[in-house]
């Protein structure tokens, strides 16, 4: 009697096949030659297991990753975190950050757990979604752990930090490690100028989520990077102009059941932009 394959197994097999196909003749992994670090927010692989997400990273020839809890729960034991870190690092991946992590609860035990999680993974940044009430307490842990807080803006629906400018107001006068993760899609939907927002963030920019929208005011219009209206070349030029060295992480939120084709197209476009900037 033939065995039936689950959807997850089929997805994982497809990822593995693509990774194998790309193993030879593929472009080298994009490192720091852009100045900043082009990578992946693992939320893009949220319907894949950790093992298949790692295979997907290999297929994309990308070195940098930001880990979402779907690939390692925040409640994991130290042994489980150590094992996951080993799996990522054995695959040649560099953990640039974790998140997005909710810091909505005014619970210092939970805050400490989140910072311990990042510390054990060797992550220098936590991308987070706090409230105005929790930001002040987060600063204490940023100082204690020497881990940067990258507060993520979530667009018009976010009652706390819809735009990067709202984050800047909240962290003004705080430790310089208190900063932003600018999500370019959500930023555009607030009506803010994305490039100017990056410039305004300056040294408080600690992480970025890159994506593209066909309609800059419609979050449901996401497309592969390069197929929409997002000014990617201008964004990259501004990042280089201000000497940004952090992560620019692809957050591909569409086609969750089969993300790799769109992600590959996105990286091909972004690599082309960077190549053109070097020419």
In this prediction the pTM is 0.90
pLDDT digits (tens, 9 = 90+) for 162-210: 999 999 999 999 999 999 999 999 999 999 999 999 999 999 999 999 9
| 79 contact partners, CB below 8 Å, separation of at least 6 | none
As given in the structure block, the two tokens for residue 269 are 């476009």
Rounded average pLDDT over 75-89: 98
Q: What is the pLDDT of residue 278?
A: 85
Query: Which neighbouring-strand residues pair with 94?
Result: 64
d(CA 254, CA 277): 28
Q: Is the pLDDT of residue 224 over 70?
A: yes
Rounded average pLDDT over 214-236: 98
pLDDT digits (tens, 9 = 90+) for 129-141: 999 999 999 999 9
Can you list the domains of the chain with their CATH numbers? 31-278 (3.20.20.150)
3-state SS, the chain, equals CCCCCCHHHHHHHHHHHHHHHHCCCCCCCECCCCCCEEEEEHHHHCCCCHHHHHHHHHHHCECEEEECHHHCCCCCCHHHHHHHHHHHHHCCCEEEEEEEEEECCCCHHHHHHHHHHHHHHCCCEEEEEECCCCHHHHHHHHHHHCCEEEEECCCCCCCCCCCHHHHHHHHCCCCCCEEEEEEHHHHHHCCCCHHHHHHHHHHHEEEEEECEECCCCCHHHEECCCCCCCCHHHHHHHHHHCCCCCEEEECCCCCCCCCHHHHHHHHHHHHHHHHHHHC
Q: How many residues does the chain have?
A: 279
Q: Is the pLDDT of residue 128 over 60?
A: yes
Phi-psi region of 146 (alpha: psi -120 to 50; beta: other; left: phi over 0): left
Q: What percent of the chain has pLDDT over 70?
A: 88
Cβ 69 vs Cβ 36: under 8 Å: no
pLDDT digits (tens, 9 = 90+) for 263-272: 999 999 999 9
């Amino acid at each position: 009697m033939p065995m039936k394959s689950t959807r997850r197994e089929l997805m994982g097999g497809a990822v593995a096949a693509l990774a194998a196909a790309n193993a030879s003749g593929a472009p080298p992994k994009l490192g720091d030659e852009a100045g900043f670090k082009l990578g992946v927010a693992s939320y893009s692989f949220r319907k894949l297991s950790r093992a298949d997400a790692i295979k997907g990273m290999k297929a994309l020839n990308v070195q940098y990753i930001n880990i979402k809890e779907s690939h390692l729960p925040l409640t994991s034991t130290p042994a489980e975190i150590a094992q996951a870190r080993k799996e990522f690092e054995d695959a040649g991946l560099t953990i640039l950050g974790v998140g997005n992590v909710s810091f909505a609860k005014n619970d210092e035990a939970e805050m400490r757990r989140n910072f311990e999680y990042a510390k054990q993974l060797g992550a220098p940044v936590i991308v987070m979604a706090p409230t105005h009430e929790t930001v002040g307490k987060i600063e204490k842990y940023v100082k204690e752990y020497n881990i940067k807080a990258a507060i993520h803006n979530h667009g018009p629906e976010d009652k706390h930090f819809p735009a990067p400018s709202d984050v800047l107001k909240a962290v003004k006068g705080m430790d310089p490690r208190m900063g932003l993760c600018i999500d370019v899609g959500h930023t555009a939907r607030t009506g803010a100028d994305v490039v100017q927002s990056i410039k305004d963030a300056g040294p408080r920019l600690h992480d970025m989520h890159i994506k593209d929208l066909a309609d800059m005011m419609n979050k449901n219009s996401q497309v592969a990077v390069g197929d929409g209206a997002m000014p990617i070349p201008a964004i990259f030029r501004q990042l280089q102009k201000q000497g940004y060295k952090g992560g620019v992480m692809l957050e591909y939120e569409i086609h969750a059941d089969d993300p790799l084709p769109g992600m590959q197209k996105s990286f091909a476009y972004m690599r082309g932009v960077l190549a053109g900037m070097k020419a």
